[in-house]
A = this chain, B = another copy of it.
């Protein structure tokens, strides 16, 4: 089990693009989403297909990830709930940490979200000016919520 401590932000402009790698394509979908648990299948360019159970909630949660055959991933897509989430993930180094910037495609475009994984909850973080509003606690920006309910700024009030 790995406990993730992540902070999530919207972006302010394109200042990050010159600092980022070319990115990798990610395609993921959800098989189950309930309070305290999500089950995700992810296909990521250059990596094995993965099935992931996430437990708990908030900024610290459990994550259990296992490789699966790509053919299983393709078949399981038919049992998904919600959208298939397609995004390109770019990496930007930030003072010993890494910012993951997800540029969403399909029905979720033009959403762009940055995530920073921290070694401890109180790890200091100096944010560059292209990092905008923090949405760590805004559950509408969880990828499972995006898959089930779409882009927050395109939803009816909820």
Chain A residues with a Cβ under 8 A of chain B? 1, 31-32, 34, 36-37, 39, 51, 53, 55-56, 62, 64, 66, 68, 71-72, 75-76, 78-79, 81
Contacts of A39 in B (CB 8 A): 31-32, 39, 53
Pairs across A and B, CB under 8 Å, 28 listed: A1-B72, A1-B75, A31-B32, A31-B37, A31-B39, A32-B32, A32-B34, A32-B37, A32-B39, A36-B79, A37-B79, A39-B39, A39-B53, A51-B51, A51-B66, A53-B76, A53-B79, A55-B75, A55-B76, A55-B78, A55-B79, A56-B79, A64-B68, A64-B72, A64-B75, A64-B76, A66-B66, A66-B68
CA distance A71 to B2 in the complex (A): 12
Residues of chain B with a CB closer than 8 A to A64's CB: 68, 72, 75-76
- For A81, list chain B residues within 8 Å (CB): 34
When C-beta atoms are compared, the residue in chain B nearest to A74 turns out to be B1
Residue of B nearest to A62 (CB): B75
CB distance from A143 to the nearest CB of B (A): 17
Apart from A34-B81, A62-B79, A66-B66, list 5 A-B contacts with CB within 8 A.
A31-B53, A39-B39, A53-B79, A64-B72, A64-B76
